Structure 1
C-alpha cells in the first residue's frame, strides 16, 4: 500500500504545480514531457520487474525500486533547468514501475483470487486517493511554499516504505537457472521510446511533415524496433514479454481495455488542473480540491466492487459498467467551457472516478486469475505495461493536440499586443496562473478563452478509444475465481492447515503426538530453514526453498 501510494502520487502531484513549474523553467511548449517521461519510464521497466520477480523473488526488486524512486525524488527537487527536471522524472519512473507492478504481484502471491477483491478494492481506492492527494499537495506546496516540495515530500514517505518493506516483507527468494532476456528488454525499451517520440513529434518540432527526413527515419526505426522485438521474443527461451500470453483471450481483451483506459483517462486527467487554473482563474490549491469528487467516486466503486466480487465471484459486469460510465463521461466533458460551474465540474469528475474505480483493478484481477501461477508477475506487468504505454502515447498525443491548439490561440491573442504584467513583459512561453491574473484586459480574457477553446474539443479525440474498450468489455470470458494463492499454487508456500498437518505428522513420528496443532498454527518457514511462530491470515504460509520437505509433503 505504501509503495502503491508513492508511485500513484507522482503521476498526479505535479499536475497542479505544472503551470508554475513550466513557467519558471520556461518549458510551456514541452510541458507534456513532465508527465510523459515518467509514464514512459514506468512502462519500460514494468515487464523487467515482473519477470525478475517471477525468476528470483519479489523482495529485493521491490527494495531496489523504492530506493531508486526516493533518490530520484531528491534530484527532481533540486533541478535547476527544465531538462534536468525531465531527466530526474524519468529516473523516478524507473523506480515507480517496480513499485506499482510488484505491489499487485505480491498481493496475488499471498491472497487467493477468490478473496483478492477485498484487497484489490482498497488498492484501487488508494490510487484514487493519490490521484487527489497529489494535486492537493502539489497545489498547497506551490501556493504556500515551493513547488520543489512536490518532489521532496517523497523522501520521508520513501524511507518509511523502505523500512516497512525491509522488516515486514518476508517472501521467498529463488535461485533460477534461467537468464533474463536482455536483448528483448533492450529492444522493448528502444521500441517504446521511439513510439513516444513519434507521438510527441509535433510538440518537439512544431508539426508532422513527412518531407522531414528525421520524422521518416524515426517512424521507420520504430517499426523496425517493434518487429525485431517480436522476432526476438518468439525465439527467446524465457522472453521478458511472452507473446504466448496473447493466446489467452482473457489476457488479450483485458490488456486492450487497459490500453484504452491509459490513453483516454490519464490524458484527460493530467490537464484538468491546468485548465482550471488558467481558464477559470481557480487557485492552485483550489484546483486540487476540485479533484476530491473524483477520489470519492474511485473509492466508492473500487471498494464496493471488490467486496461484491469476493461475495459473488463475478467480475465481468463491473468492467462493462465502468467502461460505459467512463465513455459517457468523456463525451460530457467535451462541453467544458471557461464559464462552467464548479458543481457541474465536480459532478463530471465524480462520475469519471466512479467509472475508473469499477474497471481498473477488475481487469488486473481477471488477468491474474486466467494465467499460470508461475507467470502471475509477468502477466500482471504485461497488462500494466500496455496500460502505461497507452497512458504515455495518449498523454503525448493529447498534449500535442492541446498544446498546438493552445499555441495557435495564444499567438493570435498576443499578436501585436505588448503584454505587460506586474513583473514586466509576459510571453506565451512563460505564462503562469499568477501572471495571467495580473494582465490587463482584453489580454487576460483572451488567454482564458484560449485555454478553454484548446481543451474541450481535444476530448473528442479520446471518445472513440473509450468506446472500443466498452465494446470489448462484453467479450471478457468470466472464469471461476481460484481459491488458491499464487505462492501455494507454485509450491512455494503451504496453507496454515497444511503446515499444521505436516508438523503434527512429524511430531507423531517423533513420539510427540498431542498439542502439536496449537504449537504449529501459522508456522513460517524462513529462508534459512528456521521456523517462527505467527498467525497467518492471508491464506499462505511462506515455505521458501530452504526446506524442500514442506513442498514435497504437499506434492
Structure 2
C-alpha cells in the first residue's frame, strides 16, 4: 500500500491542501489497491447505516420498556438530525486535516455513543446518546464517498459506487432483520446498539492498516463555524416543529409560528454566512450548477421516501399483522434483494456505457409505484401485496441513490469534490430526518383521532395502545381491534403521503442533463 500512500499524498483530497491539485488529471490506481481501500470504506458505511436501520424493528419494544410513545420518532430523528447537520462539516474538516484522521475520529465517536445508547435507562438517555451517535455517523456516511472520488475516475467509479450503494442500502434495509432477531433472542433490544461496536472496531483496524494517506496540509482553509451553526439551527427548528406540532402544541399556535420563523431566519443567516465565508461548508457556487441543484433536490425526496418506510414499516407488520420482530425483519428481504440487485447492476452498466440518467428516472418511478402499491394494503391484505410494494421501493432506491452522487461528482471540478459530495449527502440525510419527523407527525395525529374512543373511555386500553406490540395484542378483543384498525389507517395515511414525495423526485430527475461520465479524474 506504499504506492497508494505516495499517490494519495499528491491528490487534492489528502495532500497539499484542498486546492493544491486543482483539476489536474489524477494518477490511476490498481484494482487491487482500490478494492483494499473499498473494504474499509464499506465496513464503515455498514456501521453507520446499521445505527439507523437496526433500531426500526426494535422501536415498539423499546418504547414498551422505556415508555414514551410520543418520543418514538426522536429515537430515529435525533441521529438523523445530527448526522445530517454534521455531514458537510466532516467534508470540510477532511479537506483540512485529512480523510483518514477524520474517518477514525468519526469511528471513535460512533463507538462511544453506541455503548452509551445500549445502557440507556430511559428515553431521554437514549435520545441523548443517539444525538451524539449521529455526529459520528455523519462522518461515516459521507467520507467514503469523498475518498472513493479521490481514488477512482468518474467513468470507473460507477461499479465501485454500485457496491457502496449496495452496502448503504442493504445495511439500511436489512438492519430491521438483524434488529428483529436480537429483540426476539435472549440478548434483547440493547444489543441493537452493542452489535455495531465490533463492526466499527473492525472498520477502524482495517482503515488503519489499508488506508495509508499522508497528513493533510491546512493551507489557508478555515472552518466555517457560523455557517455550521445556522445550518444546524435551521434543521433543528424544522425537526422540532414537525415532531412536537399537533402533540405538545397545536399547529395553529404561537410555538408553531415561532419555530417556523426561527427556521426561516436561520436559513437566511446560513445563506448570508456561506456567501461571506472564506471557505464555506456548502459553497454558494455549487448552486450555479444545475446537476448539483437537481441531484440535491432528488436526494432530499429519496431520503424522505427511504427513511419513512424504514422506520414505520416494522410498526405496521408487528402491530397490524401481529408479526414478531424477527418475522417483520424477514419481510424486508424483498426490499434488500431488490436494492442489492439494482445498485450493483446499475453501477456496472454505468461504468460500461458512461450513461447514467435513465437509472434515477426509472428508480424514482419505481419508488412512486411502490408507495402506490402500499396504499392498496388493507387490514386483511395478503403479505404478497406488501412484499411487492417494498420490492418496488428497494429497486428504485438501488437505481437512484449512488447514481445521483456520481452524476454530481462528474459535473463539478475536483476542487469541489468533497464539498459537493457532502452537500448531496446532506440533503439526502436532511430528507430522511424531515421524513421521519413528518411521517411521525402524520401517524401520531391520525392515531390520536382514531383512538379517541379508547381515550374517552378512560380504560387501560388507551395506555396499552402506546405500549409494545405484545401489550396491544394482550388487550381485550374489542379494544385490540380498535387499536389495530387505528394503526392500519394511520399507516395508510403515511403510505399515501409518500406518493407526492416520490412524484417530486421523479419530476426533478427528468430535468437532469445526461452528461456522459468522464474517463479521467480531472
Task: Provide the TM-score with structure 2 as the length reference.
Answer: 0.89
Alignment partner, residue 140 of structure 2: 99
The match for 1:351 among 362, 380, 392 is 392
Are 1:409 and 2:450 matched, yes or no?
yes
8 A Cα contact 2:243 2:441, kept in partner:
yes
Equivalent residue runs for 1:397-476 within 5 Å: 397-416=438-457, 418-419=459-460, 427-428=463-464, 430-476=466-512
Which secondary structure does the structure 1 equivalent of 2:79 belong to?
helix
2:381 is aligned to: 340
Measured at CA, do residues 390 and 462 of structure 1 come closer, stay the same or move farther in structure 2, by a change above 3 Å? Answer: same
- Structure-2 residue corresponding to 1:144: 185
Residue of structure 2 in register with 1:60 after alignment: 101
Task: Give the distance between the partners of 2:172 and 2:93, measured in 1 at CA.
Answer: 28
Matches of residues 161-172 of structure 1 in structure 2 within 5 Å? 161-172=203-214
Distance 1:413 1:385 in 2: 41
The equivalent of 1:477 in structure 2 is 513
Deviation digits for residues 388-436 of structure 1 (CA, Å, limit 9, x no counterpart): 111111211110010111122223235326437xxxxx71464211112
For residue 287 of structure 2, the aligned residue among 225, 240, 246 is 246
Separation in structure 1 between the aligned mates of residue 343 and residue 362 of structure 2, nearest angstrom: 12
Alignment partner of 2:91: what SS? helix
Alignment RMSD (CA, Å): 1.5
Paired residues of 1:253 and 1:473 also in contact (CA < 8 A): yes
Greater percentage in helix: 2
User: Is the counterpart of residue 184 in structure 1 residue 220 in structure 2?
Assistant: no
Alpha-carbon separation, structure 1, partners of 2:343 and 2:90: 26
- Identify the match of residue 369 of structure 1 among 410, 416, 438: 410
Asked if 1 retains the 8 angstrom alpha-carbon contact of 2:102 and 2:139, the reply is yes
How far apart in 2 are the matches of 1:15 and 1:340? Answer: 22
Contact 2:442 2:493 in 1 (8 A): no
Q: Please state how far the C-alpha of 1:280 moved relative to its aligned partner.
A: 0.9
Displacement of 1:286: 0.2
Cα contact 1:8–1:131 (8 A) shared by 2: yes
Q: Quick check: 1:128–1:294 contact (8 Å CA) kept in 2?
A: no
Within the candidate set 363, 366, 369, 1:325 is matched to 366
Aligned residue pair count: 479
Which residue matches 2:259? Answer: 218
Q: Indicate the residue corresponding to 1:126 in structure 2.
A: 167
Query: Which residue of structure 2 aligns with residue 156 of structure 1?
Result: 198
How far the C-alpha of 1:366 sits from its partner, in A, is 0.3
Maintained 8 Å contact 1:28/1:429: no
Flag structure 2 segments of 5+ consecutive residues without an equivalent.
Answer: 1-41
Q: Which has the larger Rg?
A: 1
| Contact 2:79–2:130 (Cα < 8 Å) also in 1 | yes
**Alignment check: 8 A CA contact 2:302 2:505 kept:** yes
- Aligned positions of 1:68-79 closer than 5 A: 68-79=109-120
Q: Does 1:22 align with 2:58?
A: no
Q: Is the 8 A contact 2:303 2:432 kept in 1?
A: yes
Find the aligned partners of 1:22 and 1:352 in 2 and give their Cα distance.
27
Q: Distance in 1 between matches of 2:132 and 2:86?
A: 11
Q: Measure the CA separation in 1 of the matches of 2:146 and 2:467.
A: 43
3-state SS of the aligned residue for 1:389? helix
Q: Which runs of 5+ in 1 are unaligned?
A: 421-425, 490-555
**Aligned-pair distance for 1:217?**
2.3
Aligned pairs (5 A) from 1:248-397: 248-397=289-438
Q: CA deviation at 1:355?
A: 0.7
Asked if 1:47 is matched to 2:88, the reply is yes
TM-score (norm 1): 0.84
The worse-fitting range, judged by mean Cα deviation, of 258-267 and 89-98 is: 258-267
The answer to whether the 8 Å contact 1:54/1:375 transfers is no
Deviations 1:227-284 (A, max 9, x none): 1111111111111111110100110111100011112221133100111100110111
Does the 8 Å contact 1:23/1:429 carry over to 2? Answer: no
Matched with 1:492 is none
- SS of the equivalent of 1:17 reads helix
Task: State the alpha-carbon separation in 1 of the partners of residues 448 and 65 from structure 2.
Answer: 18
Residue 415 of structure 1: SS of its match in structure 2? helix
Residue 185 of structure 1 deviates from its aligned partner by 1.2
CA distance in 2, matches of 1:206, 1:289: 38
Alpha carbons 1:419, 1:443 under 8 Å: kept:
no
> How far, CA to CA, are the matches of 1:463 and 1:430 in structure 2?
27
CA distance in 2, matches of 1:330, 1:148: 31
Contact 1:66 1:99 in 2 (8 A): yes
Tell me how far apart the structure 2 counterparts of residues 417 and 221 of structure 1 sit (CA, whole Å): 38
Aligned partner of 2:251 among 200, 204, 208: 208
Q: Note the C-alpha offset of 1:471.
A: 1.3
**1:155-187 deviations in Å (ceiling 9; x for gaps):** 111111111111111223321222111111111
Match for residue 505 of structure 1?
Answer: none
In 2, Cα distance between the equivalents of 1:430 and 1:231?
Answer: 44
Q: Hey, what's the Cα distance between the residues in 1 that align with 2:189 and 2:500?
A: 36
Partner of 2:4: none
Question: d(CA) in 1 for partners of 2:206 and 2:281?
Answer: 29
Distance in 2, Cα, partners of 1:349 & 1:216: 36
For the Cα contact (< 8 Å) 2:295–2:408, is it kept in 1? Answer: yes
Correspondence for 2:12: none
1:174 to 216, 232, 236: 216
